[in-house]
Amino acid sequence: MVTEAGRAARMRTLAVGYRLAPEHPFPAAYEDALSAWRFLRNQGVAAAHIAIGGDSAGAGLTLGLIGRLRDGHEELPACAWLISPWTDLTMSGSTLVSKAAVDPLIHKEYLNELADAYFPAGMDRKDPRVSPLYADFRNSPPMLIQVGSNETLLDDATRLAARAGAADVAVTLEIWAQMIHAWPLWNAHLEDGRRALASAGAFIARHRGET
């Protein structure tokens, strides 16, 4: 998916193999996202030439990185691409229940298992570093949010769009009919996956500076 997104945006890509829980709970992945950003910046790549993104938990890491850079008064990426974002690890989204019968992949019980493996003991699940839905989005770069209508995480995406938009962030929300979690991953066999990647490529090209 990363390679095909790069083709669509006509840019080079870097896929980040961040450390995973339970062997590496928070803040390992959070630190790895920053390390990837530092790597690109140390290579002389301007922040305005970088688009960052991810799917599911990777989308959450994308938002966590933006918040970390903003709080550190650092330059921000040109834009963010968020596919089926998991933004609320308190699992309060209404579609976790209302879409459970049509989502074949992601269910609340499974998400709770993942969250339990990721969180250190005693950490607040509303901490914006892990649940970016509760972050301060002011001055964030433009966002493209892509989510399927059949996802239990649909509410994580729509609430994110509303909160970021209320903070005067330029947000594009695409809800793809009858699509499931992270459907662009299956772009080789799924026309809607290819179309979603084409849309993401166009969005990135509009917002990214010239190299």
User: Active site includes 189?
Assistant: no
158, two tokens? 């729509």
**What residue type is 119 in one-letter code?**
F
Question: In whole angstroms, how far apart are CA 72 and each of 65, 157, 158?
Answer: 11, 26, 27
The catalytically annotated residue of 84, 131, 174, 181 is: 181
* Contact status, residue 60 vs residue 53, Cβ threshold 8 Å: no
H-helix or E-strand spanning residue 108: helix 108-118
User: Active site includes 131?
Assistant: no
Q: How many Å apart are CA 20 and CA 117, to the nearest integer?
A: 9
The catalytically annotated residue of 4, 84, 131, 151 is: 151
Pairing of the two strands 143-148 and 51-55: unpaired
User: Active site includes 56?
Assistant: yes
Which residues carry out catalysis? 56, 151, 181
